């Protein structure tokens, strides 16, 4: 099986001098003979971090968007300015008009900062589909992830425009990247709005493989209650994980709970992290 190298280019934290932290996420995936940029961060950190880490963004073959929030798509314009043109894979709902709506506060736009046509004019060639798609040898995108667990819910604060008002956004475009490595399946998450357990079970169903070697990325357990975190950890026992690396939207309580259960198998993913199998 193939070797895999992942380099974290954008994340909320950094532990290396000369790198920028930003609320967002972006990872360069080298697998299947291709270089795949998974998300682009919020916009300010992608290019300087890539330069500092010696990553040539012009060599990227494909871009994948895990979902349509600004902190995963905001670096698209900067990327296209140095790369133009490029194939971009995402779910059809990635361009929905998204807001964060909270009581007592003005609705805040949190979707992609630019429209599809504008990005296309800069060289983005979009491939939008709901079903799984193969990106390279042993590398695929899940497409829509069914929501089956009752405890993995999306916050009511996530809303989309509906007429003159808003309605709840279940973020149907949330998807994950699946890599067949020499050590087993690697699952790369953007935010896992679909639910970490929903995502991993769906990966098992579409690959036909029970063993998942590693899970990396955002789990969106920040703000989750103790019950959800406990049920998530209990369900994770079924996947036989060798490594779990969390980042971005996981939150401290969930990260600490992961560490307590997984010990040395647990790690964080600050900017500059290189993960190989």
Question: Topology of domain 5-146+154-276, per CATH?
Answer: Metallo-beta-lactamase; Chain A (3.60.15)
Query: Per residue in 136-159, pLDDT tens?
Result: 999 999 999 999 999 999 999 999
Confidence of residue 249 (pLDDT cuts 50, 70, 90): very high
Residue 197 in contact with residue 144, Cβ under 8 Å?
Answer: no
Instruction: Return mean pLDDT, the chain.
Output: 96
pLDDT band at 182 (very low <50, low <70, confident <90, very high): confident
Region 247-273: mean pLDDT is 96
Q: What are the residue boundaries of the structural domains of the chain, listed by start?
A: 5-146+154-276
Percent of the chain with pLDDT over 90: 93
Name the band, by pLDDT with cuts 50, 70 and 90, for residue 163.
Answer: confident
3-state SS, the chain, equals CCCCEEEEEECCCECCCCCCCCCCCEEEEEECCEEEEECCCCCCCHHHHHHHCCCCHHHCCEEECCCCEHHHHCCHHHHHHHHCCEEEEECHHHHCCEEECCCCCCCEECECCCCHHHHHHCCEEEEECCCCEEEECCEEECCCCCCCCCCCCCCCCEEEEECCEEEECCCCCCCCEEEEECCEEEEEECCCCCCHHHHHHHHHHHHCCCCEEEEEEECCCCCCCHHHHHHHHHHHHHHCCCEEEEECCCCHHHHHHHHHHHHHHEEECCECCEEEC
* Residues 71-93, mean pLDDT to the nearest whole number: 97
Residue 1, pLDDT > 70, answer no
Judged against a pLDDT cut of 80, whether residue 88 lies above it is answered with: yes
pTM: 0.97
Q: Determine the pLDDT at residue 260.
A: 96
Q: What is the pLDDT of residues 13-68, one digit of tens each?
A: 999 999 999 999 999 999 999 999 999 999 999 999 999 999 999 999 999 999 99
Per-residue pLDDT, averaged over 206-214, amounts to: 94
Q: Please compute the mean of the pLDDT values over residues 193-200 and round it to a whole number.
A: 98
């Amino acid at each position: 099986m193939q070797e895999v190298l992942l380099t974290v280019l954008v994340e909320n934290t950094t532990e290396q001098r000369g790198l920028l932290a930003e609320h967002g996420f972006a990872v360069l995936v080298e697998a299947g003979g291709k270089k795949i940029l998974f998300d682009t961060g919020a916009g300010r950190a992608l290019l300087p971090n890539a330069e500092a880490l010696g990553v040539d963004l012009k060599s990227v073959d494909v871009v994948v968007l895990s979902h349509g929030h600004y902190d995963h798509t905001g670096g698209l314009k900067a990327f296209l300015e140095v790369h133009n043109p490029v194939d971009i894979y995402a779910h059809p709902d990635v361009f929905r008009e998204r807001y964060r709506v909270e009581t007592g506060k003005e609705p805040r736009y949190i979707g992609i900062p630019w429209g599809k046509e504008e990005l296309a004019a800069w060289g983005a060639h979009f491939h939008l589909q709901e079903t799984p798609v193969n990106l390279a040898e042993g590398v695929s995108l899940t497409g829509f992830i069914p929501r089956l667990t009752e405890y993995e819910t999306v916050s009511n604060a996530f809303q989309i425009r509906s007429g003159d008002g808003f309605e709840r956004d279940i973020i149907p475009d949330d998807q994950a990247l699946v890599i067949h490595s020499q050590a087993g399946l690697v699952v790369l998450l953007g935010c896992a709005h679909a639910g970490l357990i929903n995502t991993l079970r769906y990966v098992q169903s579409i690959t036909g493989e029970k063993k998942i070697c590693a899970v990396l990325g955002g789990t969106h357990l920040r703000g989750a209650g103790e019950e959800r975190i406990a049920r998530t950890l209990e369900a994770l026992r079924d996947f036989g994980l060798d490594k779990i690396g969390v980042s971005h939207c996981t939150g401290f309580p969930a990260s600490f709970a992961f560490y307590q259960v997984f010990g040395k198998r647990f790690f964080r993913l600050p900017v500059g992290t290189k993960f190989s199998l």
